[in-house]
């Protein structure tokens, strides 16, 4: 008798729980109906890199709107990875009038489409229209740079000889570099040209960027030369590096350093950190930390994070050098709890590596 009563009681509790869940579950509404209750719409900021690369399109988001009209959660359905973060940030600030059913406020779910447009079609229809601010550097007249490589040596001047190309239909310059001549001190005759860089594959550098610079990339007390040769909307870069050879008094091309990609120097630890972005708002990436041995970069730690579309999980692998070999010290699969919630932090990929 008691067991029958208990069974009935559990059944009633279970049915009440299911009923409550049904009441609390967000009701699906169309985008058109949801927009009628929208009271505060924050426009997204156009990402600078996406604008420079002429990326446009729509980001589609699935959202849950609370009983009070605030946006509770945002899930990315589709969209270019360079546009997604800005769209998500804006939509999270949207506010709606509460949605009512039988006079009572309810949570709802809907999809939102956030458009990003540069008006490129209008530019194509009118080729004579020129943007006021080109996105690439105009090298049609060449360029000249002067650097102190070390206090004990005279200044070196680098004269860029242009490889002319026509502007594109948007008015952006595409002239690149044919040759870089190097002058020592007040000499009127070049001491050498910077050689062995694949200049035929070079892209015009972004306007206002420090694309040709002197940096002590191998931490030997002499500044070396870096020239940007490729760049993309995700922030990835490629370039050529010439190391200053104090014995030969020349700048020698370095294949090893040129293959680093986008890098950051840490003079305090004499290390180099590289970072390549693979998309999904930067959560897919490759990062590596290098030290200098025998005048070349040697990896001491790497972090690689991918997204498995079948499992819908992130996969992050951390490797560190043990002796002379790289060994995996951390291998983690994780389902995101919210948007772009990945196991490895792209903004600080080597945090905690020592503990691991």
pLDDT beyond 60 at 5: no
The 10s digit of each residue's pLDDT in 133-150 is 788 999 999 999 999 999
Query: 64, 170, 53, 186: which is closest to 123 by C-alpha?
Result: 170
pLDDT at 338 (0 to 100): 72
How many Å apart are CA 262 and CA 274, to the nearest integer? 6
Whole-angstrom distance, CA of residue 349 vs CA of residue 341 = 14
Distance (Å, rounded) from C-alpha 80 to C-alpha 44?
14
The helix/strand count (H/E) of the chain reads as 6, 22
pLDDT at residue number 128: 40
Q: pLDDT (tens digit, 9 = 90+) per residue, 189-217? A: 999 999 999 999 999 998 888 999 999 99
Mean pLDDT value across residues 89-118:
91
- Compute the C-alpha angle 141/142/144, nearest 5°: 130
CA–CA distance, 238 with 84 (Å, rounded to integer): 25
What would the mean pLDDT of 310-325 be, rounded to a whole number? 93
Please give the sequence-ordered ranges of beta strands (E in DSSP) within 246-356, or none if there are none: 250-253, 263-266, 271-279, 284-293, 296-308, 313-322, 325-334
pLDDT band at 18 (very low <50, low <70, confident <90, very high): very low
Tokens of 18: 């299911």
CA distance linking residue 251 with residue 223, whole number of Å = 10
Backbone torsion region of residue 97, taken as left when φ is above 0, otherwise alpha when ψ lies between -120 and 50, otherwise beta: beta
Which of the four pLDDT bands, split at 50, 70 and 90, describes residue 54? low
d(CA 198, CA 196): 6
Phi and psi at 312, nearest 5°, equal 55, 45
Residues 252-305 pLDDT 10s:
999 999 999 999 999 999 999 999 988 777 789 999 999 999 999 999 999 999
Distance of CA 333 to the CA centre of its chain: 22
3-class secondary structure, 223: coil
212-215/192-193 β-pairing: unpaired
- 201 touches 230 (CB < 8 A): yes
Q: What's domain 24-118's architecture?
A: 2-Layer Sandwich (3.30)
């Amino acid at each position: 008798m008691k067991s029958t009563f208990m069974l009935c009681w559990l059944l009633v509790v279970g049915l009440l729980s299911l009923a409550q869940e049904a009441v609390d579950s967000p009701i699906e509404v169309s985008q058109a109906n949801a927009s009628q209750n929208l009271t505060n719409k924050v426009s997204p900021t156009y990402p600078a890199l996406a604008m420079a690369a002429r990326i446009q399109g729509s980001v589609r988001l699935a959202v849950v709107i609370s009983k009070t009209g605030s946006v509770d959660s945002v899930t990315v359905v589709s969209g270019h990875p360079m546009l997604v973060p800005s769209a998500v940030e804006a939509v999270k600030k949207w506010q709606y009038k509460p949605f009512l059913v039988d006079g009572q406020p309810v949570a709802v779910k809907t999809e939102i489409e956030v458009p990003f447009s540069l008006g490129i079609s209008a530019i194509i229809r009118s080729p004579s229209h020129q943007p006021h601010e080109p996105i690439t550097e105009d090298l049609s007249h060449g360029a000249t740079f002067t650097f102190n490589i070390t206090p004990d040596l005279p200044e070196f001047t680098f004269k860029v000889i242009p490889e002319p190309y026509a502007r594109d239909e948007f008015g952006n310059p595409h002239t690149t570099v044919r040759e870089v001549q190097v002058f020592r001190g007040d000499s009127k005759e070049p001491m050498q040209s910077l050689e062995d860089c694949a200049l035929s594959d070079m892209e015009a550098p972004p306007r206002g960027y420090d694309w040709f610079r002197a940096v002590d990339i191998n931490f030997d007390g002499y500044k070396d030369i870096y020239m940007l040769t490729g760049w993309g909307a995700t922030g990835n870069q490629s370039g050529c590096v010439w190391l200053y050879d104090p014995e030969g008094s020349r700048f020698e091309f370095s294949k090893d350093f040129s293959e680093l990609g986008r890098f950051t120097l840490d003079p305090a630890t004499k290390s180099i950190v590289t970072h390549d972005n693979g998309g999904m708002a930067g959560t897919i990436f490759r990062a590596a930390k290098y030290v200098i041995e025998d005048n070349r970069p040697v990896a001491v730690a790497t972090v690689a994070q991918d997204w498995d579309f079948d499992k819908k999980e992130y996969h992050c692998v951390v490797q560190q050098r043990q002796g002379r070999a790289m060994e995996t010290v951390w291998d983690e699969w994780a389902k995101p709890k919210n948007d772009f919630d990945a196991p490895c932090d792209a903004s600080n990929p080597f945090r905690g590596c020592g503990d691991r």
